[in-house]
């Protein structure tokens, strides 16, 4: 059964920041990468539990996107009763570990 993917305001800001950071408006390759990231996020509507639980919080999972050294973590929460995937944060994997306050 498909889940609804809900992107939080925080994750929307993360996506907007990445769009600007990779200069997707001016580069076809960057735009293609950005679209791939968004497709990966939307792919969570099917089998979101395929992704591992985060080390930081057992209630969150993460999807890794990209190739070394440019791997991004899509951090999300699966709400089984509502059949919803809530995207809470998107960040570069090399950044320091996130805290609960980073995803609220």
Q: What is the pTM of this model?
A: 0.85
Superfamily name and number for 4-103: RelE-like (3.30.2310.20)
Residues 16, 11: Cα–Cα separation, whole Å:
9
Q: Where do the domains of the chain lie? A: 4-103
Classify residue 87 as left (phi > 0), alpha (psi -120 to 50) or beta.
Answer: beta
C-beta separation of 75 from 104 below 8 A: no
What local confidence, expressed as pLDDT, does residue 39 receive? 95
Please state the rounded mean pLDDT for residues 94-99: 61
Round to whole Å and give the CA distance between 1 and 20: 35
Asked if the model's pLDDT at residue 70 lies above 60, the reply is yes
Joined together, the tokens standing for residue 89 give 């944060």
Q: Is 33 helix (H, G, I), strand (E, B) or coil?
A: helix
Question: Both tokens of residue 64?
Answer: 């890794």
């Amino acid at each position: 059964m498909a889940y609804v993917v809900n992107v939080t305001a925080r994750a929307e800001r993360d996506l907007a920041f990445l769009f600007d950071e990779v200069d997707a408006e001016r580069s076809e390759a960057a735009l293609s990468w950005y679209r791939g990231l968004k497709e990966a996020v939307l792919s969570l509507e099917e089998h979101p539990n395929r992704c591992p639980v985060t080390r930081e919080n057992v209630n969150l999972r993460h999807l890794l996107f990209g190739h070394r050294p440019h791997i991004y973590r899509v951090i999300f929460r699966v709400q089984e009763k509502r059949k919803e995937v809530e995207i809470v944060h998107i960040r570069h994997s090399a950044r320091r570990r996130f805290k609960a306050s980073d995803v609220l």
